[in-house]
A and B are shown apart, each in its own frame.
Chain A
Amino acid sequence: MSAAPTAASGLAEVLDGTHVAVVCGTGGVGKTSVAAALAAAEAMRGRRVCVLTIDPARRLAQALGLERLDDQLRPITLPASAAPGGALTAAMLDPQRTFDRLVEETAPDPESRDRIFDNSLYRELTRHAASVQEYMALERLYEIDRAGDFDLIVVDTPPMAHARDLLDAPQRILEFLNGRSLRWFLKPSLRMGRVGLRAVGGARGLLVQGLSRLTGAEALQDVSEFFEAFEGMYDLFGERVQVVERLLAEESTGFLVVTSPERESLTGAAEFWLSLADQGLGFIGTVVNRVEPEWPGRLRRAQDLQELGEIPDDLARRLARCLRDHQDVARRDAERIALLRDQTMGSPVASAPRMPRLEASLDGLLGLALHLYAGDA
């Protein structure tokens, strides 16, 4: 197997000074497992930690000792070996519920609230609109932070191609809910009722007519009502977005980028680092997950294996081929990690080997964390 982990990755030191760790990256790289593993490890070190996951595999919930994860914060039992004071709490993001709570909190009165909840577009919007999931992850982070009980909050985020998908999400939602241009556009005609659509003159009138021929006047009416419902809440919403953004910019908030050793994923990680640096946001480091172990030794001929282990000729040849394949991948992975280290100017780069499957237990998660705190996979 691979050499035992040696030099420290530097992740532990950075995490020590971190209050909020935002874990991001593209899909399919084990982001959620990494978030849970680091949260568990930090809890074992004696901190009060909360991890907010996005759509975890059932096995991950099991690894945390839970049948399932949902919107509720649930305490996770730590082994007796945990440092005193350590505690772990986990929850799964439910964007719909988070959005509902936000509406309840910002609506000026129950009528406004119900008007939004009853609007058919609201449900569709919270389920499908771009940026909603990203923004709700941040909003939930704010909720958890406000509750105030944690030394460290680890937030998993939806898969994203670029850091700005996450960072711009709050503003994008805000602009969207504002709907200023659309409201301006629709209002005069809608005030005149459905017939009014045809009565608006000028360029705007032509556009209104064009759009309503395409979509039907009803749809325009629904959309307009949707934006009107949010009208009274817009300022409060805006304030909330600012609070969330301030939380992201705080000194004790940092971003952790998870990647696989594939070229595209690593390029994406370097881009993440750049755009976070551009915005002056804290950077915890990069985790390269699912790295091929090193498989040391050099095989000159397949026959060597045959002699070493009394292996049939035919099997020895396939074993040799297998070893060569894996060594090639390992070499490529190592080269790319070195390149990433250069590109991210000495920020911590941690790696973890590819495991056939994460062991569905807290021990399994802690094993993953051990690799991350150490330098080499």
Chain B
Amino acid sequence: MGAGASHGDTSGCRVLGRFRVTEFIAGGRMRAPDGPGCPLPPPRPPGVPGLGGDPVPRVPDDPDILRVMGPAATPSPARLPFELQPRTLYVTGKGGVGKTTVAAATALTFAAAGCRTLLVEIAGHDGAAALISDRGIGYEPTTIAQSLQALRIDPDNALREYARMHLKVKVVADRLVGNPVVRQFAEVAPGFDDVLVLGKVWKLARHGDGDGERWDAIVVDAPATGHGVGLLTMVSALARAMPVGLIANQAREIHGFVRDPDRFGAILVTLPEELPVTETLDLHEVLSTEDIEVAAVVANAVLAQRFSDAEAGLLRELTEGAPDGVLGSAVGAASSELERRERQLEELARLGSTVGPMAQLPFLFADAVGRSELRVLERAARGQRPTAAASFGAAAGRGSRT
């Protein structure tokens, strides 16, 4: 099972525009469909329950927690418009929006569905693998869970590997690494490091782990937007600044790779707030201009709807009576939450009107995200319903890593 899987039969999946709609277990679990023709391979080992045609469990309290926003504005509860075609998925967004969590969860989802999955960290932006396992990771793939490996790419190692492969004299290749001259050159030559890093991703996607085994899915936890887009667009800048040479050849390869929707897609993570949404819209435009596929937009930390419109009206009436004591606090907290949610929905509408359908992950009041939250994915795969408190959104919500 690899890139370019059949798109023909979509039973088990609903196709929404260019997105493949996949079951999304309430509480933020991604669930891989495995109906015939679905892009994910059958679960491995084959006996994993819960991945067949079982009904998707939902948290009854928050029926619209994962409502899909789109131009059509048809609410579709508990569905995530996530193109789960296994390929290289590049998770990026503004700093602090929960990229790392989304990347880790996406990787776990693929792995739980039996895809051979690789989670890639980029040096200076660590932490995705640590959300899943205590096992330290390095430049070589390390297994951190069933069907899931992880590694961390740093420019120096990428340069060493690249130079060794292309320069006849090993000693020269090794000397280039860590050399102050080369570092300085890398700093001024636009995209030099970026091409090395993305080049490694490309090589991993193309050649696999060196034993000839390729990954079905590669999930890259990319740096924050500024540099994250940089990584994609700098390749073009580099091609201008450095028209010849081996690095330029590699840049051209990468240029084609990131523009092939069968092999590469970006996942944009954002928050339902003004600046993050504006930045995501900018990012979306840049990627469209560059012809790079946006596989999914994920809005993180979206407040659940706790109260119906009628109840919100009742709460407003109560507020007018200026209640004191604990009733005042209860009404006050609820009203402030309602108001915040309203602003969030405005921002989501603004985002949705340009990017189309997006996935939403719930805001959770639980503190930081931990491994146990991510582990819920596995439980979900076994058909157990995740508890609301331990859902993915916690990870993605307050106090999460990015």
Interface residues of A (CB under 8 A from B): 1, 26-28, 57-59, 120-121, 124-125, 128-130, 159, 176, 179, 181-182, 185, 203, 206-207, 209-220, 222-223, 226-227, 262-264, 293, 295-299, 304-305, 308-309, 311, 315, 318-323, 325-329, 332, 354, 356-357
Contact (Cβ within 8 A) A207 B176: yes
Q: Is B349 an interface residue (CB 8 A)?
A: no
A298 vs chain B, min Cβ distance (A): 7
| Residues of chain B within 8 A of A327, CB atoms compared | 329, 333
| Residues of chain A within 8 A of B188, CB atoms compared | 121, 125, 129, 176, 179, 182, 223, 226-227
Partner of B274, one of A1, A59, A128, A185: A59
Q: Is B94 an interface residue (CB 8 A)?
A: yes
A206 vs chain B, min Cβ distance (A): 5
Contact (Cβ within 8 A) A322 B187: no
Q: Is B190 an interface residue (CB 8 A)?
A: yes
Contact (Cβ within 8 A) B334 A322: yes
Contact (Cβ within 8 A) B180 A181: yes
Stretch at the interface among B49-57, B114-122, B166-174: B166-174
Partner of A214, one of B166, B278, B307: B166
Partner of B401, one of A179, A215, A264: A264
Contact (Cβ within 8 A) B96 A28: yes
| Residues of chain B within 8 A of A328, CB atoms compared | 365
Q: Is B355 an interface residue (CB 8 A)?
A: no
Q: Is B181 an interface residue (CB 8 A)?
A: yes
Q: Name A125's closest neighbour in chain B (CB-CB).
A: B188
Interface residues of B (CB under 8 A from A): 94-97, 162-163, 166-167, 169, 171-173, 175-176, 179-182, 184-185, 187-190, 192, 224, 230, 234, 237, 240-248, 271, 274-276, 278, 306-307, 311, 314, 318, 323, 325-334, 336-337, 339-340, 342-343, 365, 367-368, 398-399, 401
A356-B163 contact in complex given A124-B237, A181-B181, C-beta closer than 8 Å: no
Partner of B189, one of A26, A59, A121, A185: A121
A211-B340 contact in complex given A124-B190, A219-B245, A297-B326, C-beta closer than 8 Å: no
A181-B184 contact in complex given A128-B230, A210-B172, C-beta closer than 8 Å: yes
A121-B241 contact in complex given A305-B326, A356-B339, C-beta closer than 8 Å: yes
Contact (Cβ within 8 A) A329 B189: no
A311 to B318, CA, bound (A): 9
Partner of A129, one of B96, B187, B275, B334: B187
| Residues of chain A within 8 A of B230, CB atoms compared | 128
Contact (Cβ within 8 A) A185 B187: no
B313 vs chain A, min Cβ distance (A): 11
A293 vs chain B, min Cβ distance (A): 7
B252 vs chain A, min Cβ distance (A): 13
Q: Could you pull out 26 A-B pairs where Cβ atoms are within 8 angstroms?
A: A28-B97, A28-B276, A58-B278, A59-B274, A121-B188, A128-B237, A210-B172, A213-B166, A213-B167, A213-B246, A214-B245, A216-B243, A216-B248, A222-B241, A223-B189, A293-B332, A295-B330, A295-B332, A297-B325, A305-B327, A321-B306, A322-B334, A325-B333, A326-B337, A327-B333, A329-B365
Contact (Cβ within 8 A) B182 A211: yes
| Residues of chain B within 8 A of A319, CB atoms compared | 330-331, 334
Q: Name B180's closest neighbour in chain A (CB-CB).
A: A181
Contact (Cβ within 8 A) A212 B245: yes
Contact (Cβ within 8 A) B173 A315: no
Q: Name A184's closest neighbour in chain B (CB-CB).
A: B181
A269 vs chain B, min Cβ distance (A): 14
B308 vs chain A, min Cβ distance (A): 9
Contact (Cβ within 8 A) A120 B241: yes
A219 to B246, CA, bound (A): 12
| Residues of chain B within 8 A of A315, CB atoms compared | 307, 311, 314
| Residues of chain B within 8 A of A179, CB atoms compared | 184, 188
Partner of A218, one of B95, B167, B243: B243
A214 to B189, CA, bound (A): 12
Q: Name B310's closest neighbour in chain A (CB-CB).
A: A315
| Residues of chain A within 8 A of B307, CB atoms compared | 315, 318
Question: What 4 A-B pairs are tightest by C-beta distance, nearest first?
Answer: A216-B245, A297-B326, A216-B244, A124-B190
Contact (Cβ within 8 A) A27 B95: yes
Contact (Cβ within 8 A) A263 B368: yes
B253 vs chain A, min Cβ distance (A): 14
Q: Name A299's closest neighbour in chain B (CB-CB).
A: B326
Q: Name A28's closest neighbour in chain B (CB-CB).
A: B96
| Residues of chain A within 8 A of B401, CB atoms compared | 264
A278 vs chain B, min Cβ distance (A): 23
A262 to B367, CA, bound (A): 8
Q: Name A55's closest neighbour in chain B (CB-CB).
A: B275
A207-B179 contact in complex given A176-B188, A222-B241, C-beta closer than 8 Å: yes
| Residues of chain B within 8 A of A128, CB atoms compared | 190, 230, 234, 237
Contact (Cβ within 8 A) A206 B172: yes
Contact (Cβ within 8 A) B399 A263: yes
Contact (Cβ within 8 A) A28 B94: yes
A308 to B327, CA, bound (A): 7
A295-B247 contact in complex given A59-B274, A181-B181, A210-B167, C-beta closer than 8 Å: no
